[in-house]
Structure 1
């Protein structure tokens, strides 16, 4: 494929093209005089010619198994305009599937049309769907601050909820609607999850570029099935292109906090069966828009910010939704489930009244589910454990229409009379907190455990307080780097696992990262054993080489992969005791002298850490004392956590009354 010499690429993009880290590219640039010269950017963030980079990589054998997609994307990005690049990707996708048809975007320039043609040709060679998804994902990543998308696992969850909640079977095939479809994540999930025949997927999007990309996505999602799709470019609230159409399920991730949603011109719209949404409540306009399109017994799932459940301005509409049985359930999601990632978003499950409701369907309660506890620990950014979250939510909603069934923990059926107070607050956490209060037996067990911990602490205090220290000449020490050279131990640095590693293997090992240590100290993920480059075995000393999480300990348990800034030290048992080594390394003064302290993320030079030089037989007493200190610290941490939890639980019980004198 031809490339343009005017297309700039950064060091990070070169690294991605070559399948290496950015540091490797910096080394190439420093060591090879033939490396392309900078054509733009700054000294800190230089830019290079894509054509020259491609030529240099090929001539120097730096390209491994990289396809043409990596060289293709920078040319789309160089178009500059978000809309132009988006429309170009959509047009390329259409031509990948139908190469003989004419362009549907006559406004594209000749240069862009040439790029579209080359992209279509590449897609037919390397896989149309794969090429489109690659370009779309890069486009979304580039414009992430301007776009709000629905993550694929969330789209799947929303679709499964809607399919399971509808009453009755569709007589003429299922019809699904997304009135704010964006690039089509929810619409594609509906096409994928529905396994029946005769499916119709309708979508509406006011942004032409997003609508074109959604059309392209659905074209690939439905090419193996007989599915009718229709994506219309329009503002669904102001000019509903599907007015009068009734659907079996509706899915929506509407724009949040938009004041200019059409309040004035839509004041008398017939969709507001539950009341005119206030100007500050556009989300409740979308809720009623969805309800107006549902067939009797049809269901809708909409993603909303948590404030919609409690804002004073919307209480009248919330009350009407509850009284009519339209709002059946609210699910609070963990932070990080979708943009904005810092907020615990909510799923509202809506349902239109069926023509002849089954006797089992209650109309006087709502199911509130608090799933905020399903965040994945140990990650740099908050996000849910999708498998566990999906299983829990679907299980909690499975008995939606069976009031005799007990909901799982963190879910509660709230009677209508309890909800229709002065606030009409449907926030799940407001009601599930009291639902999951510890019982008297559980409190007694916790108090007993705390007493045992305090007893153990007292024993450790007595033993450690008897330690004696004599004033003596300073002992000699050796740096870890010197011990490695002497063969007393080996040092291995943790690595970032490959992003494209295969996850289909049978054997996996836990992966520990620095964020895991800052969270709760437990490994936060699993990776295939084949991709684990540094694995700590039982008895190895693990060191965290970053100031904010500096620590060292002897690993106990099954093998564990180590991420960046973690190190595994394996001792020669004839020369050194592992517990003695860990105790020396984890001394706070040791970390201070080996760290840079420029910031909280500064690294500790593990090779500079000092170890006391003692014969192996003398190390045993030190090792035993180091172990005792570690046990004392563990007990102290557990007692602190348990004691604070008990204080909070007992305070809640006291405030609720019922104290037995």
Structure 2
């Protein structure tokens, strides 16, 4: 019988570095140090180079051997059991667990160990129990803790279904309180974290992570205004069945804003993520949440919906967002987005679902603020006065990378003339990602619309906050003083040279650099040769290499310059004369360096002077009265 090549299955559950840190009660940095310091630390059994996975039993044995372990909680054992069964598909695993917790239905693919542990952890509670009952842990609390582990696991990196805790915190902060009778919509809701967390002072979804604000309500962010039209006396609709087609819940074209409309509505293209979002809401007792499954851009399940607050953390860098089939779509109110500007397609889709007076908060990559392809759409948003604020969040806020991300905030006018005259730009990039979200005075500026409508329409906050808080007078005086110092220095650097015997007087006795190299007097350890003998001065050598004759020798017939200069020739002089020449060549090199610095400093000073005179920060000095 022929042998069949099959990949060996890992011997038991796998855990990531962050999970090992929880097991041992240390930081992830400590785990990284252990891997470097201890040769007997278990080797990775899965995952990638950036997110390795280790066999749980081997890790436990190593921790016990090193006396670094601690008792493992049932919640951790449940997570490890799910991780062993589902691997990188932990969203599917949590969805299966949530179904089991919500209805007690057949666990299906759930491991028997996971079913047992879930039962033990929720003993004394049923899905109908309200959160906060006395015995055991309610299913909603257990699922919430496991979702937090998901956001902190290797699976979160690059995931479009899991919004990082820091992003959720920032969106909640700048959204501020939202009225109880408002409608919140997330067209790319993933597993529902943003949809369930944002905008409610009495949010029943626990605040995400140790850095999140208290569930008693986030402090209102800069520029956030709890405006938007409100509908009174609305009856909340029932929760959508996870397997039911959205069209079966309402007639085609029916407006969800009518009396039966829900308060929180979402849509997600990934079926397990959408199902998990619905089940999270169900376990929290939120009967006012509807989540549809499907691609919001290609198949909008809520075409008539107009929400008071729209929040969205769209898929980043998705080139295939359906542009070819959506070229004539009516949602492109500010221009058809280019293929590479999928984020601006999501922005216009979200804005189309915003009611008059309502607000939109989008999580955007920083490059959307300045990319050339999106300039026309950015200009239209600014020109119409719809863009109210852009916040550059600190680096490290996003889960999948360390680059800054922006929050774009728009408001749909209630009537003609109800638009913004300026855009507030906030630069928090220098802040700690877990620190305050309130900007210092130098981190915020209100920029008139006309000042943003230049050739590039660059909306990067840092570019404008720096300019608005610039002390032109002090900066110009400093640059002018530095320039004067450098100009004075030039006169002292230029060597005093005497008249020589005449051109060609040194050509009689010459030696090539190639010969010097063969004799072991010269080495090439960098872009220029260096003397390794006390018979040859390095500055003398390099000075003659840059002479006109040697540059000509090092240049081919096609005009290509060979930087090594092996064909160059230098005069044969004694070491004393070499050092005299070398000293002068060294002074000339320093002179040229200062000339280049003066040139750059001159351009910088002149540019600052023009800007200051143009914006009124500087003015011509009044001549003294004689």
Q: Residues 211 and 113 (structure 1 numbering): CA distance in 2 closer, same or farther, change over 3 Å?
A: farther
Structure having the larger proportion of residues in strand = 1
Q: Identify the residue that residue 423 of structure 1 maps to in structure 2.
A: 456
| Residues 556-592 of structure 1: per-residue CA shift (max 9 Å, x gap) | xxxxxxxxxxxxxxxxxxxxxxxxxxxxxxxxxxxxx
Take 1:60 and 1:428, find their aligned partners in 2: how far apart are those partners? 50
Match for residue 391 of structure 1 among 413, 438, 442: 438
Match for residue 323 of structure 1 among 383, 399, 413: 383
Q: Identify the residue that residue 229 of structure 2 maps to in structure 1.
A: none
Is 1:132 the equivalent of 2:143? yes
| Residues 226-272 of structure 1: per-residue CA shift (max 9 Å, x gap) | 66111222111111111111110011111122110010111121211
Is 1:239 the equivalent of 2:293? no
Q: Residues 126 and 67 (structure 1 numbering): CA distance in 2 closer, same or farther, change over 3 Å?
A: farther
Q: Matched residue of 1:348: which SS?
A: strand
Gaps of 5+ in 2: 1-9, 124-135, 203-216, 218-225, 227-231, 237-261, 482-600, 614-618
Q: Residues 367 and 174 (structure 1 numbering): CA distance in 2 closer, same or farther, change over 3 Å?
A: same
Is 1:181 the equivalent of 2:192? no
| Residues 350-397 of structure 1: per-residue CA shift (max 9 Å, x gap) | 11111487xxx553322222222x423xxxxxxx2432xx2228xxxx
- Distance apart, 1:349 and its partner CA: 0.7
Take 2:74 and 2:480, find their aligned partners in 1: how far apart are those partners? 64
Q: Identify the residue that residue 555 of structure 2 maps to in structure 1.
A: none
Match for residue 424 of structure 2 among 358, 367, 382: 367
Tell whether the 8 Å contact from 1:162 to 1:349 is kept in structure 2 after alignment.
no
Match for residue 97 of structure 2 among 92, 96, 109: 92
RMSD in angstroms over aligned alpha carbons?
Answer: 4.6
Match for residue 203 of structure 1 among 261, 266, 281: 266
Take 1:46 and 1:430, find their aligned partners in 2: how far apart are those partners? 41
Tell whether the 8 Å contact from 1:323 to 1:364 is kept in structure 2 after alignment.
no
Q: Identify the residue that residue 228 of structure 1 maps to in structure 2.
A: 288
Take 1:53 and 1:441, find their aligned partners in 2: how far apart are those partners? 60
Q: Matched residue of 2:297: which SS?
A: coil
Q: Matched residue of 2:442: which SS?
A: coil
Is 1:435 the equivalent of 2:468? yes
Tell whether the 8 Å contact from 1:438 to 1:649 is kept in structure 2 after alignment.
no
Is 1:213 the equivalent of 2:225? no
Tell whether the 8 Å contact from 1:17 to 1:71 is kept in structure 2 after alignment.
no
Take 1:23 and 1:322, find their aligned partners in 2: how far apart are those partners? 47
- Distance apart, 1:79 and its partner CA: 1.9
Take 1:431 and 1:82, find their aligned partners in 2: how far apart are those partners? 42
- Distance apart, 1:216 and its partner CA: 3.8
| Residues 295-349 of structure 1: per-residue CA shift (max 9 Å, x gap) | 1100001011122222222222222222222222222222222145332221111
| TM-score, normalisation: structure 1 | 0.53
Take 2:142 and 2:96, find their aligned partners in 1: how far apart are those partners? 13
Tell whether the 8 Å contact from 2:307 to 2:353 is kept in structure 1 after alignment.
yes
| TM-score, normalisation: structure 2 | 0.56
Take 1:234 and 1:173, find their aligned partners in 2: how far apart are those partners? 26
Take 1:415 and 1:59, find their aligned partners in 2: how far apart are those partners? 65
- Distance apart, 1:46 and its partner CA: 10
| Residues 84-139 of structure 1: per-residue CA shift (max 9 Å, x gap) | x322223323433x3x5425xx8x43x53663453244244455344323432333
Take 1:41 and 1:325, find their aligned partners in 2: how far apart are those partners? 51
* Higher RCO structure, 1 or 2 (CA under 8 Å, sep 6+): 2
Q: Identify the residue that residue 611 of structure 1 maps to in structure 2.
A: none
Tell whether the 8 Å contact from 2:379 to 2:457 is kept in structure 1 after alignment.
yes
Gaps of 5+ in 1: 377-383, 394-407, 449-645
Q: 1:340-489 alignment to 2 at 5 Å?
A: 340-355=400-415, 362-372=419-429, 374-376=430-432, 384-387=433-436, 390-392=437-439, 408-438=441-471, 440=473
Is 1:159 the equivalent of 2:172? yes
Take 2:304 and 2:120, find their aligned partners in 1: how far apart are those partners? 42
Tell whether the 8 Å contact from 1:19 to 1:66 is kept in structure 2 after alignment.
no
Q: Which one has a bigger Cα radius of gyration?
A: 2
Tell whether the 8 Å contact from 1:187 to 1:218 is kept in structure 2 after alignment.
no
Q: Residues 375 and 9 (structure 1 numbering): CA distance in 2 closer, same or farther, change over 3 Å?
A: closer
Take 1:262 and 1:306, find their aligned partners in 2: how far apart are those partners? 23
Tell whether the 8 Å contact from 2:394 to 2:405 is kept in structure 1 after alignment.
yes
Take 2:607 and 2:39, find their aligned partners in 1: how far apart are those partners? 63
Take 2:53 and 2:312, find their aligned partners in 1: how far apart are those partners? 41
Take 1:67 and 1:319, find their aligned partners in 2: how far apart are those partners? 54
Take 1:375 and 1:39, find their aligned partners in 2: how far apart are those partners? 35
Tell whether the 8 Å contact from 2:81 to 2:111 is kept in structure 1 after alignment.
no
Q: Identify the residue that residue 277 of structure 1 maps to in structure 2.
A: 337
